[in-house]
Amino acid sequence: MANNSSIGIFDSGVGGISVWKEIVALLPNESIIYYADSKNCPYGPKTDGEIIELSRKVVDFLISKDCKIIVVACNTATAAAISTLRKEYKIPFVGLEPAVKPAALNSKTNKIGILATEGTLRGNHFKRTSETYAKNTEVNVQVGYGLVELVENNDINSENTLKVVEKCIKPLIDKNIDQLVLGCTHYPFLCDAIKEVSGSHNINIINPAPAVASRTFDLLKKNRKNDKNIFYHFYSSGNINQLKNTVKLIKNIDTNKYKFISSRN
């Protein structure tokens, strides 16, 4: 890995910006190239084979941009593709998995909720983690139907958003969970709506993005940059304005370093 190379991040869409934000905070002297495959979003309903092929195309693109490490900022792509990517490419990868372990350790009711996509919930990562760390915990799962689409459309504060979130969260609340794991990088953008819906139920929301940033920090080790000539380039295979609007939600980062580019990759 070359010190002056960039960190690559990709997601099925704009959700991985929640991970990008945490990586910028931990590694402020690193350039980052972000790829949103919004044309093919959501990944959740797709087959593993389809997700692997889409992931390969994005990885090839990021490697062509001289990335030194790639963060798969998508739970679904991690579940379906990261094992294949690690076998086929020499570049280091950082992936995501639902934070079952901290949820189980911190639960007082021994009942936790996992809000995720179909692809994440059927993946081996989730199954292995649940079997290892939640043997004595009731794990309640819920597919976040429609949530990815809300974030992709930058619709995070409307009455419709609250209705869609409530439909997804209520079955978990009814199970008396006290820990809610966000198993998709899009979902942290809906935290305000989730908190409003969960109300007085005192549910702790777990966002895995900080842990992913920490892992990226550790893997880079001596290959971290130490200068201020950095940039943040954002590519999208779909509507570039959706990506722009999502990035604008992140405060206190120098927008002069931003560059948005439509991609037909």
The CATH number of the domain holding residue 166 is: 3.40.50.1860
* Domain identity same for 247 and 183: no
Q: Give catalytic residue positions.
A: 74, 184
If you write DSSP's letter for every residue of 27-49 in order, what string do you get? -TT--EEEEE-GGG---TTS-HH
CA distance 261 to 244: 10
H/E segment holding residue 233: strand 232-236
* Domain identity same for 83 and 126: no
* Domain identity same for 117 and 36: no
Residue 160 lies in a domain: yes
Write down the pLDDT at residue 27: 93
Write down the pLDDT at residue 133: 82
CA distance 252 to 231: 15
Which of residues 248 and 71 earns the better pLDDT score? 71
On whether the pTM is more than 0.85, the answer is yes
Number of domains in the chain: 2
* Domain identity same for 124 and 91: no
Q: What token pair was written down for 71?
A: 């963060």
CB 129 within 8 A of CB 99: no
Residue 38: pLDDT over 60:
yes
| Listed residue (156, 146, 144, 164) closest to 246, CA to CA | 156
Residue 218 lies in a domain: yes
Write down the pLDDT at residue 226: 61
H/E segment holding residue 262: strand 258-262
Write down the pLDDT at residue 254: 81
Write down the pLDDT at residue 2: 60
Residue 1 lies in a domain: no
Residue 1: pLDDT over 80:
no
Q: Which residue reads 């495959």 in tokens?
A: 37
Mind listing the pLDDT tens digit for each residue in 40-97? 999 989 999 999 999 999 999 999 999 999 999 999 999 999 999 999 999 999 999 7
Task: Kindly give the residue spans of alpha helices, DSSP state H, lying in 89-157.
Answer: 100-106, 118-121, 124-133, 147-152
Write down the pLDDT at residue 265: 62
Domain containing residue 190? 100-207
Write down the pLDDT at residue 221: 82
* Domain identity same for 89 and 106: no
Mind listing the pLDDT tens digit for each residue in 128-145? 888 888 888 999 999 999
- Residue 60 neighbours by CB under 8 Å, 6+ apart: none
As a whole number, mean pLDDT of residues 142-157 equals 94
Torsion-angle region of residue 120: left (phi > 0), alpha (psi -120 to 50) or beta?
alpha
